[in-house]
Chain A
Amino acid sequence: MALTSEQTAVRGSKTAGAPPEPHTILRRKKRFSSRTGWTMVAFMAPAAIFVAIFTYYPMISGSQMAFRNWNLNDLSDTSWIGWGNFQKLFENPEFPTIVRNTVVWVVGSLVPQVVIGFALALFLKRKFRFRSGYQALIFFPWAVSGFLIGMLFRWMFNAEFGVVNDLLMKSGLIEAPIPWLAEPGFAMTAIIIANIWYGVTFFAIMILAALQSVSDEMYEAAAIDGAGKVRTLFSITLPAIAVTLGLTILLRVIWIFNFPDIIWAMTGGGPADQTHIITTYMIKITQEGDYGQASALGLIVVFTLMLFAVFYLMAMRPRKAKQ
């Protein structure tokens, strides 16, 4: 068996009767022998190769389509057209609606998710009987695909035989059935309700994990100092979990922005293209065959999200430093 130099060094020192301090072993390990280097490469290679071939290659190759006249229906001329696809998008009269919908979709889903998720996490923080069972039960939306959630809610929001209208009418809140998915305003509300339903658990779980990492001593000290519940929440709990909360929200914004499944299943962007967000509109254009424009739209998403992430992280930093 071939021994690496570090192993022989350790053995050597052992036989010499002077057991090495643990941290010297560690420090030696940090200096890579060439064998360790090759192990690293070999371990990393399969992941890198898969991601490069099946994710990065198509993505990069797809990105350059954004600057080409690339339409599946007519591939005779796929020439470079610069910003032409972007221009076409910005001139599209539906574009402002789509952008507005995207913002409404992200903010309208996110804020209730955070608020309800936070409340849920606060209530779940303290141990009670059946807590783990309860957690497992409310975790259920996570096992369902976005598409199926869309279908589930499409059925529940059905104007004629939907259970939502039935319950609302039984409770006397409405007198006539609401045409949920046939009217743009109601349709937007319905898809956002479905998305809130899906995302609350995620926030509850992430926030709960963060809450449990706040030490009890902090709360005890606050209680001794006479801080009330509200004061404790704003002075102890929120600052302590700010970083986790901030990162979770950032990840969610990116994810909700890129999440067409629910809308695609529930309304397909309808009625009359009024509930499209950028990513569902991208599906629509892709299905029509205009890969160039779809790609351009995709690049707009990537750059918007990157810009957002940069500004967001910059805005978060001073708060992080204060702690």
Chain B
Amino acid sequence: MIDKQSAFGRVSKIVFLAICLIVTIFPLYWIIVTSLKAPGSIYSLPLDYWPKELSFENYIGLFTKSDFGQYMINSLVVATVASTVATLISLLSAYVLARFHFAGRWAVMAAFLLTQMIPGFIALGPLYMMMTKFDLVDSKTGLILVYIAICIPFCTIMLRGFFENVPDALEEAAMIDGCSRLSALFRVLVPVMMPGIAASFIFNFVNCWNELFLSVTLMNSDENKTIPTALAGFISSFNIDWGSMSAAAVLTVVPTLVIFAFASKFIVQGLTAGAVKG
């Protein structure tokens, strides 16, 4: 009965969905078009909605005139290491929160949730001074350590949701057969939860890849800078070079976009599992 749809309903649905899609995708389209225009023709009227002639000058300039290649490698290293370690650590803490109903469970959850509520800028000053003391300013290791800590709370909450979808009986059977808890976790639970773990990892990765204010505060040498720091550099100068900016934006967004396209289903599951149940 509810499956019947009037012609008007059908048309309005298609129109609405089409508009949403166009509005969502258009900024990406526009930034790609801008990046492919010759630097001079970006600032010419009337605007071209497709470059008159394709030019890769903006991209070439990015790699020859600045160290963008180095920044990309740095971002890749920092984000990969931090999100891998954070996912492993969160796997353990999420397991505890999902499987043991101990008294302090809600306190731990609340402490994790509170980290999401506090504006990061309160912590920035003291963090900087602490990192100076440990000699971890302008060091990839330092940034990785901080990113791990930032990823853990939400990742734990997200993974907890996935653990609760897996029946206890699974690892109990393994433990009765003589597995330790740790090996039961990694040999039995991890394979079953792979989609959820992948989603959490990707979520962490994208967060680290995109993180701005900490990297701007902690990193300053060209050798160690990550992409967001370089991007922020574009607006500190009065005149923004929109050609290079667009090319840099495309190079920043495309990797995460590709990952998201493949994993969006799992990420959606993860987000909803964490938030709806949390």
**A: which residues have CB within 8 A of B?**
1, 7, 10-11, 22, 25-26, 29-30, 32, 36, 39-40, 43-44, 46-48, 50-51, 53-59, 61-63, 65, 70, 72, 116, 119-120, 123-124, 126, 132, 134-149, 151-153, 155-156, 158, 160-161, 163, 166, 197, 200-201, 205-206, 209-210, 219-220, 223-224, 232, 244, 247-248, 251, 254-255, 258, 261, 265, 268, 279, 282-283, 286, 291, 294-295, 298-299, 301-302, 305-306, 309
Decide if B24 touches A201 in the complex (CB within 8 Å).
yes
Q: Is the interface of A mostly helix, strand, loop or mixed?
A: helix
Interface residue total, chain B, C-beta cutoff 8 A = 93
| Per-position binary interface string of chain B over residues 31-75, scored 1 when its CB falls under 8 Å from any chain A CB and 0 otherwise | 100100000001101110000000000000000000000000000
> Can you name 5 A-B residue pairings with CB atoms under 8 Å?
A22-B169, A26-B168, A43-B96, A46-B89, A161-B242
Q: Contact at A43–B93, with CB atoms within 8 Å?
A: yes
- Nearest CB in chain A: distance from B95 CB, A: 6
Judging by beta carbons under 8 Å apart, are A279 and B212 in contact?
no
Q: With a CB–CB cut-off of 8 A, which chain A residues contact B246?
A: 155
User: In whole Å, how far is B250's beta carbon from the nearest beta carbon of chain A?
Assistant: 10
Judging by beta carbons under 8 Å apart, are A138 and B21 in contact? yes
Instruction: Please give, as numbers and ranges, the residues of chain B lying within 8 Å of A209 by CB-CB distance.
Output: 268, 272, 276
A62 touches B47 (CB 8 A): no
B92 and A46 form a contact (CB under 8 A): yes
Given A156-B30, A201-B24, answer yes or no on A51-B111 (Cβ-Cβ < 8 Å): yes
- In the complex, are the beta carbons of B228 and A147 less than 8 A apart? yes
Structural contact, A302 and B117, CB atoms closer than 8 A: yes
User: Across the interface, do B272 and A205 meet the contact criterion of CB distance under 8 Å?
Assistant: yes
Whether the Cβ atoms of B124 and A197 lie closer than 8 Å is no
Interface residues of B (CB under 8 A from A): 1-3, 13, 16-17, 20-21, 23-25, 27-28, 30-31, 34, 42-43, 45-47, 89-90, 92-93, 95-96, 100-102, 108, 111-112, 115-127, 130, 145-146, 148-150, 152-153, 156, 168-169, 172, 175-176, 178, 181-182, 206, 209-213, 228, 231-232, 234-235, 242, 245-246, 249, 252-253, 256-257, 259-261, 264-265, 267-268, 271-272, 275-276
Tell whether, in the assembled complex, residue A65 and residue B27 are in contact, meaning their CB atoms are under 8 Å apart.
no
Main SS of the interface on chain B?
helix
Q: Is the CB of B93 within 8 A of A32?
A: no
- Taking a contact as CB atoms under 8 Å apart, the answer to whether B126 and A51 are in contact is no
Out of A151, A161, A206, A258, which one reaches B245, CB within 8 Å?
A151
CA distance A247 to B213 in the complex (A): 28
For residue B54, give the distance in angstroms from its CB to the closest CB of chain A.
Answer: 19
Are the CB atoms of B169 and A151 closer together than 8 Å? no
Q: How far is the CA of A36 from the CA of B102 in the complex (A)?
A: 11
A197:B23 contact, CB within 8 angstroms: yes
Distance from A109 Cβ to chain B, minimum over Cβ atoms (Å): 15
Residue of B nearest to A296 (CB): B122
Q: Which of B43, B46, B169, B181 contacts A39 (CB 8 A)?
A: B181
Contact indicator B24/A138 (Cβ below 8 Å): yes
Residue of chain A at shortest CB distance from B148:
A50
Known pairs A136-B261, A145-B211; list 20 more (Cβ under 8 Å).
A11-B176, A30-B101, A44-B92, A46-B92, A50-B152, A55-B123, A58-B122, A58-B124, A61-B126, A120-B20, A135-B268, A139-B260, A139-B264, A144-B256, A155-B34, A161-B47, A197-B24, A282-B121, A298-B118, A302-B122
* Cα(A44)–Cα(B45), bound, Å: 60
Q: Which of B42, B115, B152 has the most CB of A within 10 A?
A: B152
Q: Nearest Cβ in chain A — how far from B108, in angstroms? A: 7
Contact A301 B92 (CB under 8 A): no
Q: Tell me which of B90, B92, B123, B265 has the highest count of chain A C-beta atoms within 10 A of its own C-beta.
A: B123
Are B206 and A62 neighbours in the complex by a CB distance under 8 Å? no
Name A152's contact: one of B42, B122, B169, B249 (CB within 8 Å). Answer: B249
**Residues in chain A near residue B101, CB distance under 8 A:** 30
Chain A residues lying within 8 Å of B119, measured Cβ to Cβ, are 258, 279, 282, 298, 301-302
Enumerate chain B residues within 8 angstroms of A166, measured Cβ to Cβ.
46-47
Asked whether, in the complex, the Cβ of B20 is within 8 Å of the Cβ of A138, the reply is yes
Q: Complex Cα distance A55/B31, Å?
A: 35
Residues from chain B with Cβ under 8 Å of A116 in the complex: 20
Q: Closest 9 interchain pairs by CB?
A: A145-B210, A54-B149, A298-B122, A58-B123, A47-B93, A209-B272, A61-B126, A58-B127, A43-B92
Residues of B with C-beta under 8 A to A139? 260, 264, 267-268
Q: How far is the CB of A56 from chain B (nearest CB, A)?
A: 8
Are B47 and A163 in contact, CB atoms less than 8 angstroms apart? yes
- The CA of A7 and the CA of B234, in the complex, are separated in Å by 62
From known contacts A22-B169, A50-B149, A143-B260, infer whether A44 and B115 are also in contact, taking CB-CB under 8 Å.
no
By a CB distance below 8 angstroms, the chain A residues around B127 are: 54, 58
Residue pair A206, B271 in contact (C-beta under 8 Å):
yes
Q: How far is the CA of A37 from the CA of B211 in the complex (A)?
A: 36
The residue that A47 contacts in the complex, of B92, B118, B256, B276, with Cβ under 8 A, is B92
Q: Which residues of A contact B265 (CB under 8 A)?
A: 132, 135-136
In the complex with contacts A26-B168, A148-B249, A205-B272, A155-B21 CB distance below 8 A = no
Please name all residues of chain B whose beta carbon is closer than 8 Å to the beta carbon of A22 when the two chains form the complex. Answer: 169
Q: How far is the CB of B262 from chain A (nearest CB, A)?
A: 8
A1 and B116 alpha carbons, distance in the complex (Å): 43
Q: Give A165 Cβ to nearest chain B Cβ, in Å.
A: 9
Nearest CB of chain B from residue A311's CB, rounded to whole Å:
15
Q: Which of B24, B115, B271, B275 contacts A140 (CB 8 A)?
A: B24
Residue of A nearest to B18 (CB): A134
A220 to B96, CA, bound (A): 41
